[in-house]
Amino acid sequence: MIFVQLFILFPPFVVLYQFYRYAITKTGIKKERACIALGIVYFSSGTLCLVFRNLYLAFPGLLLLMLGLLLIAQGLASKN
């Protein structure tokens, strides 16, 4: 049962990682906007995963929180 739940969680996180890589490869103003918007979505999703207090969503929730903060920081770092 545990293997099935983890197997179901794996494909959405692969898609989320692809969105992360797509936002990072943009340049200029588009990168700032994409990183901040996607960072907010990831941070909100990570918080939602932690609110459910499910053992299988705890680690992905922390991962989403960290990726969200990283994206927000990258979006804000390039502003003058």
What is the DSSP annotation of the chain? Answer: -HHHHHHHHHHHHHHHHHHHHHHHH--HHHHHHHHHHHHHHHHHHHHHHHHTT-HHHHHHHHHHHHHHHHHHHHHHHT--
Instruction: Please give the model's pTM, rounded to 2 decimal places.
Output: 0.81
The model's confidence at residue 70, banded by pLDDT at 50, 70 and 90, is very high
The mean pLDDT value for 26-48 works out to: 90
- 78 pLDDT higher than 70: no
Provide the residue ranges of all domains of the chain, joining segments of one domain with +. 19-77
Q: Are 58 and 49 in contact (CB under 8 A)?
A: yes
User: How many whole angstroms separate alpha carbon 44 and alpha carbon 46?
Assistant: 5
